[in-house]
Structure 1
Amino acid sequence: MSSKTNKKLTAAVIGTGFSGLCSAIKLEKELGIQAQLFEMSDDVGGTWEANRYPGAECDIPSHLYSLSFELSPSWSKHYSNQKEIYAYMQSVAKKYNLYERTQFQTEVIRCEWIESKQQWYLQWRNTKDHNKTGSGYYNTVFAGLGPLRIPNIPKEFQGFDGPIVHTTRWDNTIDYSNKRIAVIGCGATAIQAIPELRKVASHIYSYQRTVAWVSPRDQFTYPRIIKAVFRWFPALLKLYRFMLFLQHEMYYTYFGYYDTFFGRLIHKGFKKIVALRLARAGRPDLIPILTPNYPPGCKRIAKSELYLEALAKPNVTVIPAGIEEIKGRVLVDKTGNETEVDILILATGFNLQGFAGNLKILGRNQVSLEEKWRHEFPKTFKTVTMNGFPNFFLLLGPSTGLGHNSVVTMIDIQVDFAIKCLKHVVQRDLAAIEPKIASQEEFVKKLQNGFNGTVWKGGCRSWYMNDAGELFGLWNGTITSFWWSLRKANINDFVQHKKAIPIKM
């Protein structure tokens, strides 16, 4: 590849979470392309810039939840909190000079393939002032929108006559001390937030329609000597990360074979741990309420050594029911009980199917990606590319979630695959490539068949599923199998778009 050829390619990267940072860095490293980055917020970080609720932490070990080419020896704990992960991402962006190439407070609202130019046309606006707009053409787009971006705010809660806070839009201006607080939901955010909120609130009411499996973490602090050893001997740091990776890959043994003697043994173990923790906390009466009726992993397993113990405290009441009606500040649950509260906190997760938000993505023949996926299973090829969307690379979208390991590693692998695709474009002097329909259909069929017999089809309803009950949010195997699937970008799987007109430099 000559430097002259590289200059012909331009790239837009939407988002500056792990996906966006990884894309921009590898585009420059591998292809010499200095991408233009667009970010809606005031800083880089994506999910970890936005989610600042009390107790926000990662449930994957710090050394594993980081970019493979930017390992940090300085993590303070085995599981890092939001502030430390956010600081790590800021340091990575500074090291690779990405701040200079990022338009902050900028929302991309239209991404359209223009056939006559064989380029993507992007329109954007300032998030503070929608009258400030801009547009541009790019040969390729990397969409690092992130699945945990658009909060799910059920309409039935809008009638609450008091402060309403979604965990991903935490409001620090509200005084939570000595307040009666209702927390709706029992996913990861609620599991992390409730132990912290309980310390300041007069009372917490935890509304749980479907309880979650919660396993204790092996949380610990890294001594200074260990951090120094990792700094002096980077090979040991890589080895430690690899051992963590193997440990988490082994967890798939249960997820993939849950309905076996081994799987049933694990299930019994989870039940015993829940019972033991609640009995030790002096609340054996909560054991039947907080023991899920589905196998562990069917919904994502949360990690916390504080949550069950917090629910057992005198100023916390568990209500195993959803909300039927709201009367001012009174919540009426499905059983008819009424509870008056001062603040309503929605730990109701994210709108994964509407992850694009205000962004309209229009491929060839003006096909809308949002409309297309609204009526069918979100089909991709290798989880990164889609037929009808040339040179468009979607990161951490459908079929990339995990229940056992680090999605940052998934991002690394996805970006490497996208780079391989672009190398074909450069080496063959093409305008663009997109997967063939046959290649995409074969990939999707194999992906869906791979879920048979796994815990994710164990009988529960989860955010991994779309409205039709299809498992659209998960990869069906280990990260190792994901890497194997994406290790090559075979040009025979792609439609090759030859250049119609020269691209001006």
Structure 2
Amino acid sequence: MSSNNKLTAAVIGTGFSGLCAAIKLEKELGVQAQLFEMSDDVGGTWEANRYPGAECDIPSHLYSFSFDLSPSWSKHYSNQAEIHAYLQNVAKKYNLYERIRFQTEVVRVEWIESKNQWFIQWRNVKDHEKTGSGYYNTVFAGLGPLRIPNIPKEFEGFQGPLVHTTRWDKNIDYSNKRIGIVGCGATAIQVIPELQKVASHIYSYQRTVAWVSPRDQFTYPRIIKMVFRWFPVLLKLYRFMLFVQHEMYYPYFGYYDSFLGRMVHKGFKKIIAFRLTRAGRPDLIPNLTPNYPPGCKRIAKSELYLEALCKPNVTVITNGVDQIKGRTIIDKQGNETEVDILILATGFDLQGFAGNLQIFGRNQTVTMNGFPNFFLFLGPSTGLGHNSVVTLIEIQVDFAIKCLKHVVQKDLAAIEPRRSAQEEFVSKLQKSFKGTVWKGGCRSWYMNDNGELYGLWSGSLTSFWWTLRKADINAFIQHKKAKSIKM
């Protein structure tokens, strides 16, 4: 593009995806993007989720940007506050705060064919009368899949404090209360051990129990932090070792029915049985041992959860919730339990992750047919079950930058994938799930309503990098700029 028609960019969201996109746009293309954020601060998922026990299940040094490693992580697995602080520091370091519109919700994104630009409308989240709009050549959507809470309608009639974990109400006094907790995913597995310490009784409602493995949690000594700070090459080497370690988990996921896979499955069963027996509750083994292979749903990590379920003030109910009457929860077998507080650890609405945002293209993965110069991060086919999503984000952003470099070098208006290329990609990906653990017989958030695996990448993270290592321009429609009419 000519200097008088410089590329402009809008970045929606300031989690890992949005910050990475803004940093790379400036570094690689000299573009200072405009960022939009609904919250009061950067952080995305790690700004919003503040429930007790919120932590990451990927090691700290791997769950961070490769271009901005920190030698100061306090623990092997960091909590919400430390990850949020890391993202704040990254935003400050790259001077992004001055370009972020906080408390701003993007409500409409529309491709204007005559201008070959995206028209964006936004509004203040607290005062919808305060609105704005603008035109941008490219849009980077870092909306994040874990942002719109899934609140099943049957729970909305609860006549007491109703709290979804992603909208944690710290003003409620949870001590000495009877608390019902619905869900048994990663969030419930983190919050239950914390609430068990203060509640008079916890009723854990679990429909499909999860596989839980112990963490190798530890604190980094001061000397290790100093070594990482003095010798950055050792920090990079350590991070690479963590990456390789997690990549080595994939052969099980891809070949779960092999001899190795069956051995891993048996090992998980033995660990569950050992932990529950050691905690004095061998009677819980049948109820807390999943009937599907480990990894079909995401494996959670906790050295506290199973032990918390064994405490005298915790009751595990695996019948599922049938209905709510007042403050009484009625399970599928008709058993009634009255609680003071109901907590929903029911995950997120992944198919409705766009929320109020309406997107209108020219007529899913990183780029989409009909959406020129539109790059969606952590959308369909990009979830991971074994490694760091931050690395995956970087790979996606690098791919988008390669596409835009072609746009700039060829002085194009825009680029978008051909429908045939997109359909071929999706078809090939769906076939590649055959034989993987994600087809192991469970229902998971990786699936859509039709039972299709739309939320995951089927291979290793290395294979994801290999697939996106270069932008095959032949797979794209290249939109040329409109010729100007000379008078």
Which residue in the other structure is 2:302 paired with? Answer: 304
Q: How does 1:388-467 map to 2 (within 5 A)?
A: 388-467=370-449
Please list the CA deviations of residues 378-403 of structure 1 after superposition, one character each: whole Å capped at 9, or x if unmatched. Answer: xx3xx200000000000011111111
Please list the CA deviations of residues 346-367 of structure 1 after superposition, one character each: whole Å capped at 9, or x if unmatched. Answer: 00000000010000010012xx
| 1:499 and 2:481 matched | yes
| CA deviation after TM superposition for structure 1 residue 438, in Å | 1.6
| CA deviation after TM superposition for structure 1 residue 421, in Å | 0.2
Could you tell me how far apart the structure 1 residues matched to 2:141 and 2:124 are?
A: 18
Which residue in the other structure is 2:462 paired with? Answer: 480
State the one-letter code of the partner of 1:172: K
Could you tell me how far apart the structure 2 residues matched to 1:483 and 1:225 are?
A: 34
Which residue in the other structure is 1:172 paired with? Answer: 170
| 1:110 and 2:108 matched | yes
Which residue in the other structure is 1:235 paired with? Answer: 233
Could you tell me how far apart the structure 2 residues matched to 1:237 and 1:163 are?
A: 46
State the one-letter code of the partner of 1:48: W
Which residue in the other structure is 1:98 paired with? Answer: 96
State the one-letter code of the partner of 1:148: L
Which residue in the other structure is 1:140 paired with? Answer: 138
Which residue in the other structure is 1:57 paired with? Answer: 55
Which residue in the other structure is 2:41 paired with? Answer: 43
State the one-letter code of the partner of 1:64: L
| CA deviation after TM superposition for structure 1 residue 237, in Å | 0.3
Could you tell me how far apart the structure 1 residues matched to 2:378 and 2:222 are?
A: 34
- Match of residue 25, structure 1, among 23, 26, 40: 23
| CA deviation after TM superposition for structure 1 residue 436, in Å | 0.8
Could you tell me how far apart the structure 1 residues matched to 2:379 and 2:41 are?
A: 22
Could you tell me how far apart the structure 2 residues matched to 1:98 and 1:489 are?
A: 28
Which residue in the other structure is 2:221 paired with? Answer: 223
State the one-letter code of the partner of 1:338: E
Could you tell me how far apart the structure 1 residues matched to 2:483 and 2:451 are?
A: 45
Which residue in the other structure is 1:283 paired with? Answer: 281
State the one-letter code of the partner of 1:471: L
Which residue in the other structure is 2:10 paired with? Answer: 12
Could you tell me how far apart the structure 2 residues matched to 1:124 and 1:437 are?
A: 30
Percentage identity across aligned positions?
A: 84
| CA deviation after TM superposition for structure 1 residue 230, in Å | 0.3
Could you tell me how far apart the structure 1 residues matched to 2:114 and 2:153 are?
A: 43
| CA deviation after TM superposition for structure 1 residue 327, in Å | 1.2
Could you tell me how far apart the structure 1 residues matched to 2:244 and 2:348 are?
A: 30
Could you tell me how far apart the structure 2 residues matched to 1:303 and 1:488 are?
A: 35
Which residue in the other structure is 1:376 paired with? Answer: none
Could you tell me how far apart the structure 1 residues matched to 2:306 and 2:472 are?
A: 49
Task: Report the secondary structure of 1:364's partner residue.
Answer: coil
Could you tell me how far apart the structure 2 residues matched to 1:243 and 1:46 are?
A: 27
- The number of residue pairs the alignment matches comes to 485
Q: How does 1:144-155 map to 2 (within 5 A)?
A: 144-155=142-153
- Match of residue 325, structure 1, among 323, 326, 346: 323
Please list the CA deviations of residues 301-325 of structure 1 after superposition, one character each: whole Å capped at 9, or x if unmatched. Answer: 0000000000000000000121111
State the one-letter code of the partner of 1:437: R
Moved over 3 A (4+): none
Task: Report the secondary structure of 2:134's partner residue.
Answer: strand
| Equivalent residues of 1:117, 1:501 under 8 A apart | no
Could you tell me how far apart the structure 2 residues matched to 1:19 and 1:231 are?
A: 26
The TM-score normalised by the length of structure 2 is 0.99
Task: Report the secondary structure of 1:391's partner residue.
Answer: strand
Please list the CA deviations of residues 426-473 of structure 1 after superposition, one character each: whole Å capped at 9, or x if unmatched. Answer: 000000000011211111111111101000000000000000000000
Please list the CA deviations of residues 14-71 of structure 1 after superposition, one character each: whole Å capped at 9, or x if unmatched. Answer: 0000000000000000000000000000000000000000000000000000011000
Which residue in the other structure is 1:386 paired with? Answer: 368
- Match of residue 314, structure 1, among 298, 312, 315: 312
Could you tell me how far apart the structure 1 residues matched to 2:242 and 2:431 are?
A: 29
Task: Report the secondary structure of 1:200's partner residue.
Answer: coil
Which residue in the other structure is 1:372 paired with? Answer: none
More displaced stretch, 319-328 vs 219-228: 319-328
Which residue in the other structure is 2:342 paired with? Answer: 344
Could you tell me how far apart the structure 1 residues matched to 2:290 and 2:366 are?
A: 34
